Amino acid sequence: MPLGSRGPWDKSESRYCGVETEFSDDVPGLLSYNISSGGFDFVVAPLMNPSYRPSSVGKDGRNSSVMPVAGSDLVLSPSEWSSRVVGKISSWIDLDSEDQTLRLDSETTLKQELAWASHLSLQACLLPAPKGASCANYARSINQVLQGLNNMQLWLRVPLVHVDDDPEEKSSSHPNDSWELWNSFRLLCEHHSQLSVALDISSSLPSPNSLCRWFGEPLRVAILNTDCFLTNTRGYPCLSKRHQNLVTGFFNHSIQIVISGKLLHKLHGGSSGSAALNSNNNAERVQTHPLRVYLDYVGYLYQKMDPLPEQERFELGYRDFLQSPLQPLMDNLEAQTYETFEKDTVKYLQYQMAIAKALTDRVPDDKVSDVTTVLMVVGAGRGPLVRASLQAAEETGRKLKVYAVEKNPNAVVTLHSLIKLEGWENTVTIVSSDMRHWDAPEKADILVSELLGSFGDNELSPECLDGAQRFLRQDGISIPTSYTSFIQPITATKLYNDVRSFFLVLHYRSLVFCLCPLCASSCAVLQVKAHKDLVHFETAYVVKMHSIAGLASSHPVFTFIHPQHSVEIDNRRYKKLEFEISRDTGSVMVHGFAGYFDAKLYKDVHLSIEPSTATPNMFSWFPIFFPLRKPICVKPGLPLEVHFWRCVGSTKVWYEWCVTSPCPSPIHNPNGRSYWVGL
């Protein structure tokens, strides 16, 4: 039974909680006890008798042709095997043992069990944790299996350990940071997309920065041991505040919980934990499963989470989907794209506020009846900024004359209809032209535009506004007046794997601007193909980032100011940035960089998607992702030095980027060979 629901939109896998069990020959009975009676959704169960060793088969008269598996594939239906059972590979396996017999037995058993799990069409198998710091032979064997594996996922069990100061831990055969163990294993398996992490949670937790790394990794399940739980005043299990926050983070990232261990809480009267935790439960039930009290507590944590805000619900279907950025200068936008932009009321309210302040500054109160402000909306689209400008004029009592300049002939048709519908014929003049080539009949007092992209300047706002500012008065106001791009190093295993292997090319307008996540697959034009070339690692993608870990605070990159009255305008830029990753984070893997912008519309009115200053409930922009061709591992205390260039040619603008420390990467996208924006 799922942990609960936080609304009809809640389709997260983390609603389902499993339990780790011992080996049983009676698989139907095992499911009946743990699922039907115990209330768990699936079991993580051994597939083979733990006493089995290939080297001893036949020596004691046992039948060497039949393996001691948990049961015939006929004891459950294929759908039950697939949805109710996660295979647990024998925990005694040690493929890096010095004992040759144990090593060979381990390799044989591993492949036998995984072959049996594949035959059963299991969705996943839990691999035992590496026994020591060296895991090369274990990884080699898993990598061999991965090359021919069906759709089954392999979950490598990794204990959540990050010890900085304990000399006893440091001298042990295990690394003092379990992330290092995982990273070594996945590098040996070439970042295979079917290899994921099962994080073993214990009673002690590492630092928050160290924990943060895991949310950018392919973490599929968290194994919550019963010794993690404390005891509340009524004798029931509970978790520390830090453990609660961690579990809530797992829920938010669709990471499933598995309860493991023995009952450590002596409950009076044998009552269910849910009765103590849920005030709406009027009758206490008889406890039938020893671990049900822990399941009830996890369900309680799930149900008390705050519901997602409306913006997050809207974006839920688009999380971690890579999309090509818009090129509105080269391409004419479609009606669906305009419609979605226009639904972002927060953005246009900010624009209206900025225009109102500019009008007030431009025309003093004693001249409102004498002065008419000339305002030009460049890139008017279907008119939302025209409407915001007129509403600002009405709000401030200022007289306004508006020029709506738009190059898209299809949007101009809509503009003409809007003018007639609203009765703005005497106030608004429509100009069907590219702003860079139009000869304005008079100078503008205020120039308004919404040409910003996810990285600020990546939709060529500088080039467009530089071309349009010739018809702005010398003392005129540009809205926006400036904007700055930001980058942040991130761990983003899912995004990296999408780029390097089977990547869905979803055009930005086809996916982001479909309002219904359920029909995204039918209304987007999808092309599924293998991406083995560097072109896709040298392209910037728009993406609603979710399964990522930000490794340091974002740093500013390029700033543009309008109007720009320099004699010679040069929109080329170069910036060297250095990021310091906190020592208590441990080592990290950098898969690329998240890009944001912060725009000053006018005075103190801002638009921002940069995390520390983001405008609440604004959804017009998702961040941009600059991938690295090869992820870079950064050790604690070492700086990450990054270089970004904005290059301008006669027909295009493009970015180049690279890392020079702790180790150099190739310069990505030289001469805009893979990704560029057309002028």
Q: Reply yes or no on whether 315 is catalytic.
A: no
How far, in Å, CA of 233 to CA of 273, rounded?
13
Residue 580 pLDDT: 95
Q: How many helices (H) and strands (E) does the chain have?
A: 19, 29
Q: How far is CA 583 from CA 169, 587, 635, in A?
A: 18, 8, 9
The answer for residues whose C-beta is within 8 angstroms of residue 488's C-beta and 6 or more apart is 550, 551, 552, 553, 554, 555, 593, 594, 595, 596, 611
Half-sphere exposure of 312 (CA within 13 A, CB side): 11
What mean pLDDT comes out for the span 89-95?
Answer: 96
3-class DSSP assignment, residue 58: coil
What mean pLDDT comes out for the span 651-673?
Answer: 97
Q: Are strands 624-634 and 541-542 parallel, antiparallel or unpaired?
A: antiparallel
The answer for residues whose C-beta is within 8 angstroms of residue 213's C-beta and 6 or more apart is 179, 491, 549, 551, 585, 586, 588
Residue 132 pLDDT: 86
Residue 62 pLDDT: 52
How far, in Å, CA of 469 to CA of 298, rounded?
59
Query: Could you tell me which of 38, 42, 2 has the C-alpha nearest to residue 286?
Result: 38
Report whether pLDDT(84) > 70: yes
Instruction: Map out the domains of the chain with their CATH numbers.
Output: 13-307 (3.20.20.150), 335-450 (3.40.50.150), 483-678 (2.70.160.11)
Q: Average pLDDT, whole number, for the chain? A: 88
Check: CB of residue 195 under 8 Å from CB of residue 164. no
Q: What pTM was estimated for this model as a whole?
A: 0.89
Residue 162 pLDDT: 66
Query: Could you tell me which of 182, 259, 106, 6 has the C-alpha nearest to residue 633?
Result: 182
What region does 456 belong to: left with phi over 0, alpha with psi -120 to 50, or beta? left
Report whether pLDDT(272) > 70: no
What mean pLDDT comes out for the span 511-536?
Answer: 44
Report whether pLDDT(522) > 90: no
* Opening angle at CA 677, ends 676 and 679, nearest 5: 130
The answer for residues whose C-beta is within 8 angstroms of residue 4's C-beta and 6 or more apart is 15, 299, 302, 303
Q: Reply yes or no on whether 459 is catalytic.
A: yes
Residue 60 pLDDT: 54
DSSP-based helix, strand, coil % in the chain, nearest 5: 35, 25, 40
Report whether pLDDT(441) > 50: yes
How far, in Å, CA of 57 to CA of 632, rounded?
46
Report whether pLDDT(505) > 80: no
Report whether pLDDT(286) > 60: no
How far, in Å, CA of 95 to CA of 113, rounded?
14
What mean pLDDT comes out for the span 561-588?
Answer: 93
Confidence of residue 268 (pLDDT cuts 50, 70, 90): low
How far, in Å, CA of 128 to CA of 114, rounded?
12
Q: How far is CA 67 from CA 27, 57, 115, 436, 491, in A?
A: 16, 9, 12, 76, 42
How far, in Å, CA of 8 to CA of 581, rounded?
39
Report whether pLDDT(523) > 50: no
Report whether pLDDT(225) > 90: yes
User: Rounded to 5 degrees, what are φ and ψ at 668?
Assistant: -85, 140
3-class DSSP assignment, residue 445: strand
The annotation places the binding site for S-adenosyl-L-methionine at 338, 347-348, 406, 434-435
Residue 169, token pair as written in the block = 């831990």
Residue 8 pLDDT: 66
Confidence of residue 669 (pLDDT cuts 50, 70, 90): very high
Would you list the DSSP string of 257-316?
EEEES------GGGB-HHHHH-TT--SPPBP-STTHHHHHHHHHHHHTSPPPPHHHHHHG
3-class DSSP assignment, residue 677: strand
Give exposure, 88-105, as e/b (b: 16+ Cβ within 10 Å): bbbeebbbbbeeeebbeb
Q: How far is CA 649 from CA 434, 562, 570, 652, 678, in A?
A: 19, 21, 11, 5, 10
How far, in Å, CA of 47 to CA of 281, rounded?
38
Catalytic site residue from 217, 459, 463, 538: 459
DSSP structural state of residue 585: G
Adjacent-strand bridge partners of 456:
453
How far, in Å, CA of 625 to CA of 278, rounded?
43
Residue 404 pLDDT: 97
Least confident range from 102-111, 295-304, 516-525, 606-615: namely 516-525
Query: Could you tell me which of 320, 193, 188 has the C-alpha nearest to residue 254?
Result: 320
Residue 68, token pair as written in the block = 């001691």
Residue 167 pLDDT: 43
What mean pLDDT comes out for the span 620-632?
Answer: 96
The number of beta carbons lying within 10 Å of the beta carbon of residue 119 is: 12
Residue 367, token pair as written in the block = 């001249």
How far, in Å, CA of 597 to CA of 612, rounded?
11
Adjacent-strand bridge partners of 529:
503
Residues 13-68 have pLDDT tens digits of 888 999 999 999 999 999 999 999 999 999 999 999 999 999 887 655 455 567 89
| Residue of 42 and 274 predicted with greater confidence | 42
Q: How far is CA 480 from CA 20, 167, 544, 602, in A?
A: 57, 56, 24, 6
Catalytic site residue from 107, 450, 538, 656: 450
Residue 556 pLDDT: 98
Give exposure, 123-162, as e/b (b: 16+ Cβ within 10 Å): bbbbbbbbbbeebebbbebbeebbeebeebbbbbbbebbb
Strands across the sheet containing 640-648 = 573-579, 640-648, 652-661, 677-678
Report whether pLDDT(186) > 90: yes
How far, in Å, CA of 240 to CA of 246, rounded?
10
The answer for residues whose C-beta is within 8 angstroms of residue 357's C-beta and 6 or more apart is 602, 603, 605
**Amino acid letter, residue 490:** I
What mean pLDDT comes out for the span 449-469?
Answer: 95
Would you list the DSSP string of 322-372?
-EEPP-TTTSPPPHHHHHHHHT-HHHHHHHHHHHHHHHHHHS-GGGTTT-E
Would you list the DSSP string of 98-159?
S-HHHHHHHHHHHHHHHHHHHHTT-SEEEEPPPSSS--HHHHHHHHHHHHT--S-EEEEEEE
Residue 4 pLDDT: 76
3-class DSSP assignment, residue 673: coil
Report whether pLDDT(322) > 50: yes
How far, in Å, CA of 544 to CA of 554, rounded?
17
Residues 594-605 have pLDDT tens digits of 999 999 999 999
Residue 370 pLDDT: 93
Residue 534 pLDDT: 86
Query: Could you tell me which of 657, 654, 651 has the C-alpha nearest to residue 672?
Result: 654
The most distant pair of C-alpha atoms in the chain lies apart, rounded to whole Å, by 108
| Residue 598, H or E segment | strand 588-602
Confidence of residue 504 (pLDDT cuts 50, 70, 90): very low
The annotation places the binding site at 338, 347-348, 406, 434-435
